Amino acid sequence: MSTIDAQDLRERIGRFRVLIIGRANAGKTTILQKVCNTADDPEIYNTDGKKIDDAVVKSSIKRGNHDIKNEMVFKSNPGFVFHDSCGFEAGSEGEFEDMKKFISERVHATKLEERIHAIWQVTSF
């Protein structure tokens, strides 16, 4: 059995891609800020790779309104790309279906760097 060198894997993937899921206002962005050792808001890029205006980002973070396809990147830790699901509330079937579709698309992506490498579920009490 051969092992994959961590540095080789990092070079092949480029950036580690994480989907973070949980209910609205569970603190998903706050947790990501702690993990990335920053108090700054993330930079958000749309599916075309264009940076979304900072004022729009701040407004959507406060409302907990995120497009799962957008990429969140913290300047303090650019080796990670985060995708934030909309909050899952009781009866929010549409958001759940969007998340399932996104995961399916990313699981079947032909390029390794476009795949989801981890899914992190955040719960609060």
Question: What DSSP string describes 22-75?
Answer: E-TTSSHHHHHHHHTT--SPPEEE-TTSPBPPHHHHHHHHHHT---TTSEEE-T
pLDDT tens figures, 54-100: 665 555 555 555 789 999 999 999 999 999 887 666 557 777 888 89
Domain boundaries, the chain: 6-122
pLDDT given at position 23: 80
pLDDT given at position 55: 62
Q: How far is it, in rounded angstroms, from Cα 14 to Cα 24?
A: 30
The dihedral of CA 63, 68, 74, 75: what is its sign?
A: negative
Ramachandran assignment for 66, one of left (phi > 0), alpha (psi -120 to 50 degrees), beta (any other): beta
What's the distance, CA 13 to chain centroid? 16
Query: Whole-model pTM?
Result: 0.80
Q: Which of 22, 9, 12 is nearest to 122 (CA)?
A: 22
